[in-house]
Chains A and B, each alone.
Chain A
């Protein structure tokens, strides 16, 4: 079974600074997708960024980028120029294969606090 681990229950960052959230996963599959979701106080899950395992290039989305280390099974999220609105729970998620009908396995989450 696949597992996703987020070792940092809480992180804090100063506004405008950079923060990196860690995520490791365990799988025997070769085809999979990795995601970072944001859950603000409203509880609405928002997709931040995703990475296809077959792609060597790290995904980026504006201020958000990932460091995908396939051999190490590591998938960290870097948030640059942190903003107050970035404060939220962040969940790393794994999905086996290309089929979006496959289930998502979530990590335990990291609560990010942004200090003004």
Chain B
């Protein structure tokens, strides 16, 4: 299958600092990566969509200067939470769309594959 990793899996930081979260597609190239936010006992809310080499598209209400997304390659996207505050504490999940699944068993270009998530706690 298609594996997506996230690093770190859990981070604790002080208020005012910046935190970078990495999302990697390990065994495939991703045309598009998505960043979601999930509060406790709630559903996933899409924050932004990013395509390799272009600027991310942010959902309404998401501050692009607060949540910086860089999609430098077909296997890596990063989300940087700048000047983090306690209200930014959440679970952040990325997903990726496969660029080319030809010849790959149980892998589809028609599906988003999710990373395991990153828990951010801002003190």
How long is the Cα–Cα vector from A100 to B93 in the complex, in angstroms?
A: 17
**How would residues 27 to 38 of chain B score, 1 for a CB under 8 Å from any chain A CB and 0 otherwise?**
000011010001
CB distance from A87 to the nearest CB of B (A): 15
**How would residues 82 to 116 of chain B score, 1 for a CB under 8 Å from any chain A CB and 0 otherwise?**
00000000010101011000000000011111101
Complex: chain A residue closest to B117, CB-CB: A43
CB distance from B46 to the nearest CB of A (A): 5
Determine if B43 and A44 form an interchain contact, defined as CB atoms under 8 angstroms apart: no
| Residue B72 lies at the interface, judged by CB distance under 8 Å to chain A | no
CB distance from A32 to the nearest CB of B (A): 12
Count of residues in B whose CB is under 8 Å from the partner chain: 24
Instruction: Name A's interface SS.
Output: loop
Instruction: Name B's interface SS.
Output: strand
Known A-B contacts A101-B32, A106-B43; the reply to A45 vs B97 at CB < 8 A is no
Of A37, A43, A108, which one neighbours B91 at CB under 8 angstroms? A43
Determine if A106 and B44 form an interchain contact, defined as CB atoms under 8 angstroms apart: yes
Determine if A108 and B97 form an interchain contact, defined as CB atoms under 8 angstroms apart: no
**Interface band, chain A:** 20 to 34
Count A-B contacts at CB 8 Å. 51
Complex: chain A residue closest to B119, CB-CB: A43
How long is the Cα–Cα vector from A44 to B31 in the complex, in angstroms?
A: 21
Determine if B111 and A101 form an interchain contact, defined as CB atoms under 8 angstroms apart: no
Complex: chain B residue closest to A44, CB-CB: B116
Residues of chain B within 8 A of A43, CB atoms compared: 38, 91, 93, 116-117
How long is the Cα–Cα vector from A42 to B91 in the complex, in angstroms?
A: 12
Of B34, B109, B117, which one neighbours A103 at CB under 8 angstroms? B34
Q: Which of A44, A103, A105, A107 has the most CB of B within 10 A?
A: A103
CB distance from A94 to the nearest CB of B (A): 12
Complex: chain B residue closest to A93, CB-CB: B44
Residues of chain A within 8 A of B91, CB atoms compared: 43
Instruction: List residues of chain A with CB under 8 Å of any chain B CB.
Output: 33, 37, 42-47, 50, 91, 98, 100-101, 103-109
